[in-house]
Amino acid sequence: MVGFSVNVQKGVAMGIDKSLLPEKIFEQYSTDLYHCASCNYCVDAVWPDRNINHVCVTLQHHEKNPSYSGRGFIEAARFLAEGNELDLASLAKRVFTCTGCGNCDTVCPIGLRPSEVGKALREWLSEEGLAPKEVVASRSKILSDGRAYAGSSIYSDIKYTEYAETDCEINYFPGCSSNENLLKTVQSDLKLMDLLRVKFRYLDPHDNCCGAVLKELGEEKESAVWAQDLFKEDQQSSRRNSLVVSGYECCNHLSNTTNREPVSLPRWILSRLLSKDSSTKLELRTKHSVRVNLLETCQLKKESQINRSNPSDEFLFREFLEGFDIIVLNEHYPSQHALCCGASGSMKAMQPTSASVMATDKLPTEEDVISITLDPRCALHYCKSANSSNAVMSFSTFICEYFSISD
Amino acid sequence: MADKKNRSSLLSNWPDSPTFEDPIDLLPFQRDASVVEKGFPEAVIQPKSSSAVGEILRQANHDRVPVYVRGAGTMYAGGANPHAGGIVMDLSGMEQLLEIDLDRGIVVVEAGTKFVALLEALKPLGQTVGIVPLTGPTATIGGAVSSHALGTGSPRHQSMGDCVAGLEVVLVDGTVVRTGSAGCSGAGFFQRYCIGPDLTGLFIGAEATLGVITAVCLWLYPLPESRETLCLGFQDPLTASKYLSAVQSCELTRNMWYGGGYESGAINARVSAARPDLDVGSLPKFCVGIELGGKQDEINYDRARLIALGSDYGSKSFELFDEIYFQKLRLEETYWYSFAGYFTRSRCALLMCSLPSNKLPQFLNCLQSMREKYEQFVWGGALVICRRGLHGGVVTFYDEKNQWEEIMPAVSDAVKQFTNAGIVPYKSGKIWSKNSAHFKNYQHLLGMIKKGVDPRGILSPGNLGV
């Protein structure tokens, strides 16, 4: 195993010694470990012109301690790579408190990937049986229930038309977070598809997890198996309907683990609604001005978000709303640097109180402002954190409640 | 250094100041962005007020525990690296904006306030501060004062210290003192002098060796109505240096928001990256990049004068460089990393120095000799135009995995060469102080002051060589 030792007296790296970091992590991330210039952007940067108002939500709302940041993960990995012993339980506590939002990767001025280093450490620590007990408990529950969100299934309350497979245009996968106490969200999704005359196959109506949440908890291999199992039927089908998925974490996970490139439900619906060829007519039901607070989704962080020629889902949504003179209060929505609401990663399992504060901190205090998110998992987390099922609406619920839709 | 018993009594007394002792929490506090070796702190404390800083210092002084002070750790000086162990006092949590007084033209902030956060607060008032370092999104104001930063504003104001109207400093015995006019109770901040010498200046650039800066009063300046860039190409650095001396002597820096000098290697690298089809042999050998800021009529007037004066020294407008690099750097405020990062994506050693404008050719000669002697590194020169003279940065990119043992001897060699050429230390105190023979008496005075204000030597021992 290759590594570098540190002469503690001199404090310098001194040639090759035994690394305490797995070789595969060192090989994959040695550039990240050795090229970090300690600029501190990934710890805490404020740059309003780029809509960066702090970078790491864990540091903002949980503990102002850089060992919990992307830079902290890089420093710890390098320390181990140089053959120094470190309490791995302490390391596990820190890397599993990360939301995995990836802000530290997008803000790094020289393209390093501190968040990915953190994920690699999580996976390794899990394999070694060193994941914190909160994470293990959360993981065990998912493994035994078959889903990340173990609330009562609402499947039996959902009414939808079952079309013949050969007639279907899309395969629709709502994701397990949609189905936990978010009846309105799923019903709105289905209603919109119905209004748009979309014939769909409802994939896995039994709320099984696609594995995305397991992956966040460090179960990389098992999460891939779950994704492949869940979509076995879909993948084996000779018909290649578009796969439309509600949650962004699910989209990312399925894209990485299967041979499918899912389309997010918001993108799919908004593209239809905004299409010039669409015969669907929408009209705002209220004559009063509508003010909305759009909640960003950290898992939707792609270059396309700020690129108008290839607009992201969030940009499409903003465009849609502004087309109806709805007042969007967020000047910078969308941006590449969304602070996580606490739903993502293992933060919720490790630090539930901090995860709730991350969510409630983003909600407006004025009563007449409607908060909307594109991601059902975030919607669920916001509502739970605020102890109100109306704290945040999904995009589809908002459209269904505020618009009349006709042909 | 303190024994274990003393350290634990020191660390257990501050319920309102988060304290970290777990070795994993100490790793990010071992070093700053510099090439200086890391240190090994025994604990980190994050005080939230100057009174907490005072109590901690008093106890540390009693227990003889070394204290190093840190803002964001973006410095290239090694000042935050705790070489004598002890504790690191992290002031990044002290980020309150304490006072804006437009009548007095001042703003007072806690030391951990980030530059860009302050600029954002001042923007609606049409105000800004004199100097903003190129690490603005993360750098703290206390850190910049403590390390004597430079950057945007240097042509008008020279350096960070020249924009400071007063400080709140905590001394090693826990006394909280305000310098300048605020030293007199009830007067408040408005000018940096009170009775006797410039005690504000005593702490500027001192890298926390004489006291801990907990709040800074900066003078305010109006935001410019307009900003424009201008690049002039010269056929050799000697004529460029004469041009810069002429610009400075007739105060044509008055509306210069930023000014940079670019040597041939930097010009060729940037142009080649953007326009690989061009023959770099035809490009100017030196470029002066200027950003003007102010009222439009003043900008127009100064722009015309700068161009006319340049033509006296054979310069021509270098629009290509302006378009592909300088405009983007300045008007989009891409800050440090696009400024330096064209060389390679890596950690770099930055040796900061100061020179009179007419020593520009010597600076570049030294740089060239370093390039020839240490071919394994990528060497770059960064020059910032000041009100008088230039700030120079010798940027050496290295691969920390494979070149760690070679980099420091090369930088030390650069220190010798530059000092021999009459180029003086600026920032990078820990590196320069290794070659203190050139400023022996100056160092003697520094040592006497240090002994007077910190007799037990607990404040940032080793910084500045004291």
Question: How much is the pLDDT for B428?
Answer: 78
Contact A48 B73 (CB under 8 A): no
Contacts of A33 in chain B (CB under 8 A): 401
Q: Is the pLDDT of residue A172 over 70?
A: yes
Give the closest of A33, A46, A79 to B116, CB-based.
A46
Convert the pLDDT of each residue in B124-161 to its tens digit.
999 999 999 888 889 999 999 999 999 899 999 999 99
Read off the pLDDT band of A205 (50, 70, 90): low
Q: How far apart are CA A201 and CA A190, in angstroms?
A: 11
Is the CB of residue B46 less than 8 Å away from at least one CB of chain A? yes
Q: For A60-97, how does the pLDDT look when each residue is reduced to its tens digit (9 = 90+)?
A: 999 899 999 999 999 999 999 999 999 999 999 999 99
**Interface probe with A: pick from B91, B132, B138, most Cβ of A within 10 Å:** B138
* The pLDDT of residue A4: 37
Chain B closest-CA separation from residue A279 CA (Å) = 43
In this model, does residue A210 exceed pLDDT 70? yes
pLDDT for the residue B339 = 45
Shortest Cα–Cα distance, A78 to chain B (Å): 10
Task: Give the mean pLDDT of A243-255.
Answer: 87
pLDDT of residue B21: 92
pLDDT of residue A334: 80
Which of the pair, A16 or A3, is modelled with greater confidence? A16
Residue A157: predicted pLDDT: 67
Q: Is A43 on the interface with B (CB under 8 A)?
A: yes
A79 in reach of chain B (CB within 8 A): yes
- CA Rg value for chain B: 22
pLDDT for residue B10 = 75
**pLDDT confidence band for B19 (50 / 70 / 90):** very high
Q: Return the closest-CA partner of residue A6 out of A81, A91, A115.
A: A81
* Band of residue B338 on the pLDDT scale cut at 50, 70, 90: very low
Interface contact A164, partner B, CB < 8 A: no
Which residue among B18, B39, B347 places its CB closest to the CB of A36? B347
Q: Please give the ipTM for the structure prediction.
A: 0.92
pLDDT of B1 higher than 60: no
> Do the chains contact at B33 and A36, CB–CB below 8 Å?
no
The yes-or-no verdict on residue B48 having pLDDT over 80 is: yes
Q: Is A44 on the interface with B (CB under 8 A)?
A: yes
**Inter-chain residue contact B25 with A65, CB threshold 8 Å:** yes
User: Cβ contact (<8 Å) for B38 and A75?
Assistant: no
Minimal C-alpha gap between B368 and chain A (Å): 25
Closest Cα in chain A, distance from residue B33 (Å): 5
pLDDT higher at A182 or A274 = A274
**Does residue B26 have a pLDDT over 50?**
yes
For range A377-392, the mean pLDDT: 90
Minimum CA–CA partner of A6 in chain B: B38
Using the Cβ of B406 and the Cβ atoms of chain A, whether some distance falls under 8 Å is answered with no
State percent of chain B over pLDDT 90: 77
Please enumerate, as own/partner, the contacts of B394-397 that have beta carbons within 8 Å and a separation of 24 or more: B394/B349, B394/B350, B394/B351, B394/B353, B394/B367, B394/B370, B394/B418, B395/B340, B395/B343, B395/B348, B395/B349, B395/B350, B396/B35, B396/B348, B396/B349, B396/B350, B396/B351, B396/B370, B397/B343, B397/B344, B397/B346, B397/B347, B397/B348
B 303-362 residues with CB < 8 A to A: 333, 335-338, 341, 345-348
- Most B CBs within 10 Å, among A46, A63, A95, to test the B interface: A46
pLDDT mean over B259-273: 90
**Chain B contact for A7 (CB, 8 A cutoff):** no
Percent of chain B residues topping a pLDDT of 70? 95
User: Which H or E run contains A403?
Assistant: strand A403-406
Q: Does A37 touch chain B (CB under 8 A)?
A: yes
CB nearest to B27's CB, from A35, A41, A76: A76
Residue A293, sorted as left (phi over 0), alpha (psi -120 to 50) or beta, turns out to be beta
Question: Among A30, A41, A72, whose Cβ lies nearest the Cβ of B138?
Answer: A41
Question: CB-based contact (8 Å) between B405 and chain A?
Answer: yes
A245: enclosing H helix or E strand: strand A242-245
Searching chain A, which residue's CA lies closest to the CA of residue B94? Answer: A64
Residue to substitute from B1, B19, B20, B27, interface A, most A β-carbons within 10 A: B27
B138 CA to chain A: closest CA distance, Å? Answer: 5
With beta carbons less than 8 A apart as the criterion, state whether A373 and A333 touch.
no
Residue A8: is its pLDDT beyond 60?
Answer: no
Q: What is the pLDDT of residue A154?
A: 60
- The mean pLDDT of A297-320, rounded to a whole number, is 71
Question: Is pLDDT of B64 > 60?
Answer: yes
Q: Is A337 on the interface with B (CB under 8 A)?
A: no
Indicate the pairing of strand B212-222 with strand B390-397.
unpaired
Question: Among partner residues B39, B74, B114, which is closest to A39 by beta-carbon distance?
Answer: B74
Domains of chain B, start order: 4-92+455-465 (3.30.43.10), 97-222 (3.30.465.10), 226-340 (3.30.70.3450), 348-424 (3.30.300.330)
> What is the pLDDT, as a whole number, of residue A1?
35
- Kindly state the average pLDDT of the residues A365-369: 88
Task: Using pLDDT thresholds of 50, 70 and 90, give the confidence band for residue A150.
Answer: low
Of A34, A69, A91, the CB nearest to B400: A34
Q: Rounded mean pLDDT of A252-271?
A: 87
Decide if B190 touches A, using CB distance below 8 A.
no
To the nearest whole Å, the CA of B336 is away from the closest chain A CA by 9
A15 to chain B: closest CA residue: B402
pLDDT (tens digit, 9 = 90+) per residue, B90-117?
A: 999 999 999 999 999 999 999 999 999 9
> Where does A260-402 show beta strands of DSSP type E?
263-264, 281-284, 291-295, 327-328, 369-373, 393-394
What's the confidence (pLDDT) of residue B22? 94
Asked if pLDDT for residue B344 goes beyond 80, the answer is no
Query: Confidence band (pLDDT; 50, 70, 90) for B222?
Result: very high
Task: Return the pLDDT at B356.
Answer: 96
pLDDT of amino acid B205: 95
A interface test, pick of B16, B83, B119, B401 with most A CB neighbours within 10 Å: B401
Contacts of B348 in chain A (CB under 8 A): 37
> pLDDT higher for A207 or B297?
B297
CB contacts of A132 in chain B (<8 Å) are: none
Q: Is the pLDDT of residue A17 over 70?
A: no
- State whether residue A246 is helix, strand or coil: coil
State the CB neighbour count (10 A cutoff) for residue B26.
21
Maximum pairwise Cα distance, chain B: 70
* pLDDT, mean over chain B: 92
Chain B residues whose beta carbon lies within 8 Å of the beta carbon of residue A97: none
The pLDDT of residue A7 is above 50: no
Question: Could you tell me the pLDDT band of residue A235, with boundaries at 50, 70 and 90?
Answer: low
Of A58, A109, A39, A141, which Cα lies nearest the Cα of A347? A58
* Inter-chain touch A67–B20, beta carbons under 8 Å: yes
Residues 63-122 of chain B whose Cβ lies under 8 A from any Cβ of chain A: 72-74, 83, 92-93, 114, 116-117, 120
What's the confidence (pLDDT) of residue A25? 96
**A66: contact with B, CB 8 A cutoff:** yes
Confidence of residue A152 (pLDDT cuts 50, 70, 90): low
Q: Is B124 on the interface with A (CB under 8 A)?
A: no
Question: Bigger pLDDT: B194 or B340?
Answer: B194
Q: How far is CA B381 from CA B261, B340, B350, B389, B390, in A?
A: 9, 9, 10, 15, 12
